[in-house]
Homo-oligomer: A and B are copies of this chain.
Amino acid sequence: MIVALAGGVGGAKLAAGLARVLPPEDLVIAVNTGDDFEHLGLHVAPDLDTVMYTLAGIANTETGWGRANETWSFMEALEEFGGPTWFRLGDRDLATNVERTRRLRAGDTLSDVTRDLCARLRVRHAVVPMSDDPVRTVVHSDHGAIEFQHYFVRDRCVPRVQRLEYRGAESARPSPALRAALDRCSGVVFCPSNPYLSIAPILAVPGVRDAIDARALAVSPIIAGRAVKGPAAKIMRELGVEPSALAVARHYRGVVRALVIDRADATLAPAIEAFGIRAVVEDTLMTDDAARERLARACVATLERT
């Protein structure tokens, strides 16, 4: 049984690949909730939804967020009213957020709600929040402390990152399903999600890092010095790290036993292995379902071998 830690688009793609390779009883996908936030009175959980929609086959692949076949009447009307429109919520996507918020207010946990939303969308594999307790990523930057979605969406990652804070993490508990899965899993996969924004908040929840106990494999989100998507490379540079698969290996040193890197970075393998991390060279750009599945099989095979 494998636990996958995932954040946004890249994480969701590999999670979907793993779901093609492993039966539901052999996979738990634990998702970052550090980028959740309250917006328009709703509990918005972008990473949970990206993973859920991707596994359900209804993700909007053009935008990288939200649902396919979306309509935008709500946002049009909200704009007419002068409401806040910087965070785009499609009409269908809104239903996810309204139903989640309604049930959280009624006393259900984020785990409960996520399980039921997934079931309704016929997602057969377990998608679980990293925690049912609030953890909020705060970006400390040259523009001051900024809530994550404000940094990411409203400010388009323009502020220079000085430090990241996972507020609330110190008193958060792993979700019951993540806790149980970590107790009995044979391996953990860090999906190619942003190490600072997606994986770090999960590892910041007390107990998670210890439970992993070097059973983990990571897939580098950096290929040839660039992030496939998102601000990972920019943030690494701002934190004084030259973005590369080698830097990812250094970052995960002591936590992972293997790092899957792209063929473009094959020459970095010896330097990575010098950290005591096994370097596995694969095609890591998941351009279609077959590529997701191939990468997932490589991850599972590596975990079985190491």
Contacts and interface: CB of A to CB of B under 8 A. Distances in A.
A73 B71 contact: yes
Contacts of A91: 71, 73-74, 77, 91, 94
Interface residues of A, number: 32
A95 interface: yes
Interface string A80-103: 111100000011111110110110
A108 interface: no
A305 interface: no
Per DSSP, are chain A's interface residues mostly helix, strand or loop, or mixed? helix
A301 interface: no
- Find the residue from A42, A77, A83, A116 having the highest chain B CB count within 10 A: A77
Contacts of A73: 70-71, 73, 90-92, 95
A101 B70 contact: no
16 contacts: A40-B98, A40-B102, A41-B102, A70-B73, A71-B91, A73-B90, A74-B94, A77-B91, A77-B92, A77-B96, A78-B95, A81-B96, A82-B120, A83-B95, A91-B91, A91-B94
